[in-house]
């Protein structure tokens, strides 16, 4: 008898009652951050902002979110990000506490990474010609440094900092125009990452591993900071990174790519999966070579090398600091968690992480913080609804767990759809045209004055 693939999966369907409980959870989360607002208007508007982020509204800027919220003008939403009085960092702390509750505190892997926000103009805080991870090239953009919190229950972004190039902070007039506080001083991206990690330590968040790519792994100050706080790490480094190790002739210092050449014995390789991909485990060959720390092999520092199975000449290198006795498989699993941050960026950008049109320093932090809060809310739902696939084998497929995009799709279609009122849609069309007409008029007028 032929099986129906839609009815033979192990796992339960999502019900309308569950979706209603999800909505109540958002209300509870909003009530949790209510103390951060001094007035009821911005407090209530923050809820509308979150609902707009979770909706299918194409662009998550002040205009679109105001229209989705049923407001007659965009001023209120724009004021929420600029002039309204509320504690943005307090909401960030509430976000952190919520994430810990939803995703747990066992075997936490903290991922450091950055992403770019392409811009056209020159007035947005921190904008400059710099490398943009979103496009993979140097372009005019802002860059944000983020932390992703990863456990067995799930993962999401938990903290954020805006990178301000040195030439910005050397120009006080430009900083004032972008509302960058005078107390803000230049910090490199690794320094921003270290500041965020320190906030987690001050909040007593139990971190098991810290992982990051070469931008952060090659920074000695960050590695020293993590070492001083006894935080185990697996940090990617370039092949040219110097390594101290024991060679046939004694202690030696060479580039990471050359270490194998000088070893007393050839390394032993193990085939291990670093993470689970959509097409199965991501398999590579791995070896860990002891590194010297203060001229000694302390059993805690290693050069981890990843070798491509199909092309053994294709290798990646990592510095490891770990408790004595840590297995190679544990190191590999830790660095495998780094790829979750890419998924977190993708999910957050689908919710408008890069849709903001504010130029100010404060506006960037407020928009990004609210998007991260919405993303954490969805991750919490997925964690609670998670169905274990362990032990299912291949004889009977198991219904895949809910994902952040799927939960958002259900909420957007069932709870927060866009308005279909003809009168309302036409009124907003008129408002946009009026605004664009005046903007075009003043732009043309400024150009004529410059040419005169």
Quick one: pLDDT at residue 408?
93
In this prediction, residues 136-148 reach a mean pLDDT of 95
pLDDT band at 396 (very low <50, low <70, confident <90, very high): low
pLDDT band at 391 (very low <50, low <70, confident <90, very high): very low
Comparison of pLDDT for 388 and 110, the residue scoring more: 110
Give the range among 32-36, 396-400, 415-419, 437-441 with minimum mean pLDDT.
396-400
Quick one: pLDDT at residue 389?
42
Does residue 103 belong to any structural domain of this protein?
yes
177 and 38 in one domain? yes
Structural domain ending residue among the three candidates 325, 360, 394? 325
65 and 133 in one domain? yes
283 and 140 in one domain? no
Does residue 256 belong to any structural domain of this protein?
yes
Does residue 275 belong to any structural domain of this protein?
yes
Comparison of pLDDT for 427 and 354, the residue scoring more: 354
366 and 289 in one domain? no
Does residue 444 belong to any structural domain of this protein?
no
Comparison of pLDDT for 45 and 435, the residue scoring more: 45
Q: How many domains does the chain have?
A: 2
161 and 257 in one domain? no
Three-class HEC string of the chain: CCCCCCCCCECCCCCHHHHHHHHHHHHHHHHHHHHHECCHHHHHHHHHHHHHHHCCCCCCCHHHHHHHHCCCCCHHHHHHHHCCCECHHHHHHHHHHHHHHHHCCCCCEEEEEEEEEECCCCCCCCCEEEEECCCCEEEEEEEEEEEEEEECCEEEEEEEEEECCHHHHCCHHHHHHCCCCCCCCCCCHHHHHHHHHHHHHHCCCCCCEEEECHHHHCCHHHHHHHHHCCCCEEEEECCCCEEEEEECCEEEEEEHHHHHHHCCCCCCCEEEEEEEECCEEEEEEEEEEECCECCECCCCEEEEEEECCCCCCCEEEEEEECCCCCCHHHHHHHHHHHHHHHHHHHHHHHCCCCCCCCCCHHHHHHHHHHHHHHHHHHHHHHHHCCCCCCCCCCCCCECCCCCHHHHHHHHHHHCCCCCCCHHHHHHHHHHHHHHHHHHHHHHHHHHHHHHC
Does residue 335 belong to any structural domain of this protein?
no
% of the chain beyond a pLDDT of 70: 94
247 and 139 in one domain? no
391 and 245 in one domain? no
Q: Quote the pTM value.
A: 0.91
Whether pLDDT at 390 is above 50: no
In this prediction, residues 388-411 reach a mean pLDDT of 71
In this prediction, residues 190-201 reach a mean pLDDT of 98
Does residue 137 belong to any structural domain of this protein?
yes
Quick one: pLDDT at residue 5?
52
Whether pLDDT at 275 is above 50: yes
Quick one: pLDDT at residue 388?
41
Quick one: pLDDT at residue 72?
86
In this prediction, residues 319-342 reach a mean pLDDT of 96
180 and 36 in one domain? yes
pLDDT band at 436 (very low <50, low <70, confident <90, very high): confident
Give the range among 2-11, 65-74, 249-258, 352-361 with minimum mean pLDDT.
2-11
Quick one: pLDDT at residue 8?
52
Quick one: pLDDT at residue 423?
76
310 and 166 in one domain? no
Comparison of pLDDT for 2 and 334, the residue scoring more: 334
347 and 237 in one domain? no
Whether pLDDT at 177 is above 80: yes
Give the range among 7-16, 260-269, 322-331 with minimum mean pLDDT.
7-16
Does residue 332 belong to any structural domain of this protein?
no
Whether pLDDT at 427 is above 80: no
Round the average pLDDT of the chain to a whole number and report it.
90
In this prediction, residues 148-176 reach a mean pLDDT of 96
pLDDT band at 397 (very low <50, low <70, confident <90, very high): low
Quick one: pLDDT at residue 11?
60
Give the range among 49-58, 173-182, 388-397 with minimum mean pLDDT.
388-397
199 and 114 in one domain? yes
Domain interval for residue 63: 16-218+340-414
74 and 182 in one domain? yes
Does residue 450 belong to any structural domain of this protein?
no
């Amino acid at each position: 008898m032929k099986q129906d693939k839609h009815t033979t999966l192990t796992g339960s369907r999502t019900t309308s009652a569950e979706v209603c409980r999800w909505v109540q959870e958002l209300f509870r989360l909003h009530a949790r951050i209510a103390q951060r607002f001094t007035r009821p208007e911005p407090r209530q508007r923050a809820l509308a902002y979150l609902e707009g982020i979770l909706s299918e509204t194409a662009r998550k800027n002040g205009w679109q979110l105001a229209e989705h919220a049923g407001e007659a003008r965009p001023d209120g939403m724009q004021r929420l990000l600029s002039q309204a009085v509320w504690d943005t960092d307090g909401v960030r702390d509430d976000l952190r506490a919520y994430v810990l509750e939803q995703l747990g505190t066992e075997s936490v892997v903290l991922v450091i990474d950055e992403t770019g926000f392409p811009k056209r103009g020159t007035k947005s805080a921190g904008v400059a010609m710099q490398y943009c991870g979103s496009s993979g090239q140097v372009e005019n953009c802002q860059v944000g440094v983020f932390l992703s919190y990863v456990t067995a229950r799930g993962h999401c972004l938990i903290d954020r900092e805006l990178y301000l190039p040195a030439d910005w902070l050397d120009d006080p007039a430009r900083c004032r125009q972008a509302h960058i506080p005078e107390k803000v001083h230049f910090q490199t991206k690794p320094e921003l990452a270290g500041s965020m990690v320190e906030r987690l330590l001050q909040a007593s968040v139990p971190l098991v591993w810290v992982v990051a790519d070469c931008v952060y792994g090659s920074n000695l100050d960050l590695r020293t900071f993590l070492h001083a706080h006894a935080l185990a790490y697996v940090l990617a480094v370039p092949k040219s990174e110097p390594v101290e190790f024991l060679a046939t002739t004694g202690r030696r210092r060479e580039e990471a790519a050359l270490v194998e050449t000088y070893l007393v014995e050839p390394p032993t390789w193990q085939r291990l999966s670093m993470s689970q991909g959509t097409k199965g485990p991501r398999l590579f060959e791995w070896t860990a070579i002891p590194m010297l720390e203060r001229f000694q092999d302390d059993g805690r520092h290693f050069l981890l090398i990843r070798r491509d199975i199909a092309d053994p000449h294709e290798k990646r290198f990592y510095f490891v600091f770990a408790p004595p006795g840590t297995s190679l498989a544990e190191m590999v699993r830790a660095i495998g968690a780094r790829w979750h941050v890419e998924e977190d960026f993708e999910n957050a950008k689908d919710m408008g992480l890069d849709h903001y049109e504010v130029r100010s320093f404060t506006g960037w932090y407020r928009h990004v913080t609210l998007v991260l809060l919405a993303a954490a809310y969805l991750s919490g739902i997925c964690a609670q609804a998670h169905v274990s696939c362990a032990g299912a084998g291949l004889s009977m497929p198991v219904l895949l767990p809910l994902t952040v995009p799927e939960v958002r799709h259900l909420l957007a279609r069932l709870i927060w759809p866009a308005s279909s009122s003809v009168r309302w849609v036409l009124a907003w069309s008129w408002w946009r045209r009026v605004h664009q007409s005046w903007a075009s008029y003043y732009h043309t007028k400024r150009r004529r004055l410059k040419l005169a």
